[in-house]
Amino acid sequence: MKAYLGILIMMGLNPLPDMELYWSNDPFYNNAEISKIMPIKRYKKITENLHINDNEKEPNRNSPEYDKMYKLRPMIQELNKLFQQETGNSSKQSIDECMVKFKGRSSLKQYMPKKPIKRGFKIWAHCDSVTGYLYQFEIYTGKGDSMENEGLGYNVVKKLSAGLPENTLIAFDNFFTSCNLMEDLYENQIFAVGTVRVNRKDLPEIFKKSQPKHLRLERNQFAAVTAKPITAIKWLDTRDVNILTTAHHPTDTVFVKRTQKDGTKKKFSSPQLSLSIRSPWEASITLIISDHHIRSIENAGNFG
């Protein structure tokens, strides 16, 4: 079995259009490191008879316990267990989606036209934000994954962040971010930061596109409003960048370089949203910040 698994790994490193080509008599296709390990007939027999789960115990399709990944579930669980055993949790982690290319027939195949890999299997990945080490993954099996009213993104983050140590910081993108998710994570002493879609519920007025003239942002300005424990930040870079965080102070700024029309680079201040954990900010105040100029606009007890 070790030889068989080794062959699978080598096939992944050296993909060919047809599996039988690895045993081809044509030296252009033949892979000696594979073909000398076992004959193709033995490889096919193992492939035909290899089972990871007991098919006779598979729940009926109409059963609430039915799992599209039933045949692979023990392997997925064991891999996730080993991934977490082999390293300790870092304080800075991320959750995102990725695609595994696949053009065959499968009910699990997804089409995402805006992704570099447009067709394939969608994977939810929980990784270290610095090294990229994979702690845990889940394969998206369809709409049945979203079993609560909070939505799919909420459920994915809650599932993949279960069991994390306190004071961990998680970053994710606007597919996942919502006020309810940020609050629920914070209650479990998990800090979070992520971009957010402006059509999410309970967001502050600063995220709306129609603002009074005196509150409109100019290029490289940003506005922030806090309703404990969440800080909402809107930064006008080349376009609006909308962020929710429970880990950063809105007055912390860093300088970023932007290329001007004449080709020169100029420094501008921006929100400091690097992955560093801060103590929860107690104040609730809206700010407009530009080149270290801070001016109070209004108090805000909550977003709603």
pLDDT (tens digit per residue) in 86-126: 988 889 999 999 999 998 899 999 999 988 999 999 999 99
Peptide bond into 204 cis (omega under 30): no
Q: What is the pLDDT of residue 263?
A: 82
Domain residue spans of the chain: 1-50, 68-145, 181-299
> For a pLDDT cut of 90, what percent of the chain falls above it?
55
**pLDDT tops 60 at residue 239:** yes
Average confidence score pLDDT of the chain: 83
254 contacts 272 by C-beta, under 8 angstroms: yes
Q: Could you tell me the pTM of the whole model?
A: 0.77
Helix (H, G, I), strand (E, B) or coil at 45: helix
Which amino acid appears at position 17 of this protein? P
For residue range 52-63, list pLDDT tens digits in order. Answer: 999 999 999 888
**pLDDT tops 90 at residue 279:** no
**Distance, CA of 19 to CA of 39 (rounded, Å):** 12
Kindly give the interhelix angle for 152-160 and 179-187, rounded to the nearest 10 degrees: 20
195 contacts 249 by C-beta, under 8 angstroms: no
Mean pLDDT of the region 132-160? 84
Q: What is the pLDDT of residue 145?
A: 56
Kindly tell me the burial class for residue 211, based on how many C-beta atoms sit within 10 Å of its own C-beta (0-12, 13-18, 19 or more).
middle
170 contacts 126 by C-beta, under 8 angstroms: no
